[in-house]
Structure 1
Amino acid sequence: MVTLRNVGLRYGSGPEVLRGLDLDLAPGSFHFLTGRSGAGKSSLLSLLHLSQRPSRGLMAMFGKDVNEVPRRQVPAMRRRVGVVFQDFRLLDHLSAAENVALPLRLAGRLPAADIRNYVAEMMAWVGLTDKTDARPPTLSGGEKQRVAIARAVIGGPRLLLADEPTGNVDREMGERLMTLFVKLNGLGTTVLIATHDPALPTRFAYPVLRLEDGRLDADQPAAAPA
């Protein structure tokens, strides 16, 4: 699914924020990504979302060398990736349901009635049935987080990237969202979750990747769930 070999990333003429990364994410794998604030987690997710291209090294996704993909083909590749950003990136002029429906509408493969049904099911799963018509500025941080997660997973992406997906919700909702990610992974989606919460990986038996000063440690086994 994803291969990085000696990848570096810098912004403009600044120093490298990611250095010498080697990484393999197999299809259907599930990893946590940890590290202190400023270690480069968001930069790595930005690379994998194709918002940035590596400054050096090999980066391949879906069997293609990213540096050789024409820019006009990048949006189509990006539609295979579901992403939950820390700042949500919801469209304020659309309702919560309309934000969630965006990936399905952009794909253009489903009739409107099916999209409405899928969106209703997803809004119910994240506990926001009563917020269907609400606009993002009227939502709390936790509600925005859940809308962003619903939007990221509704299209059944091949790769799901989530930056602190449980950071703005309570423990009960966090567990519910993690159950959603696990179910999506069981359907074949590759999942990478960045988190500052040291307790989160210990509750799920998935390997942990650790970033430290822009460098990536080898996979570490997570502690068995209690």
Structure 2
Amino acid sequence: MHCPVVVSTMEMLKGILPAEGEVFLVTADEQTAGRGQRGTSWESETGKNLTFSFLFRPFRVKASELFFLSEIVCLAVAATLDAHVEGISVKWPNDVYRHDRKICGMLLEHTLSGSDISTTLVGIGINVNQPSFRSDAPNPVSIRQITGHDTDLSALLSDFVGHFENLYALWCKGGRADIAQTYWQRLYRRQGFHDYEDVRTQERFQAEIAAVAPNGRLTLRLPQGEERTFAFKEVCFL
């Protein structure tokens, strides 16, 4: 489904219960209240970017495994962008970067049924044809700013769907280790020491990424060897 203007593509899909194997997808030219991580808004010039949400029922995914779904979506976006620009990586937990600038953000929400995930709702915004950004977001970049020309939004969406279907099929066939390894290889700042801030204490420190656990927790290793583990929203990349 395509809508010229909506409040939020994610809000449109909330409350729907898809059958197993059924996917609901909504795209929009403009979202008047699109959301990002930490409750931030998403700046997108009307008709210039790929903003969409989709809702589906994961196949036998435990609540303890939900981070694998984030990995699949991130890797599908990264593979889609590889055909247009170089230097694509995944910033933990689920942003997509081109070098040190954010080219895609996403939000995943899950409903549970006992210990299983009942439905997963994914909202994605890819900066595609926007020539400039005026908000206070620190580091956005679009495909057009990199390449100097526009990219077909429908073709980009079709490419994403294909990559997502392939990765999801790999998951269903037991390829979880392959997905986790590919996510690790794609990780932004995977090598070297970088600056971070503990959101809980405001302490700033240098560390290298040591591991990403199946539950999504990030382990950072300080220069002296001490390791610290963080859940979502507990640490900032500086």
When the two structures are superposed, what TM-score results if normalisation uses the length of structure 1? 0.24
Quick check: which one's strand share is greater? 2
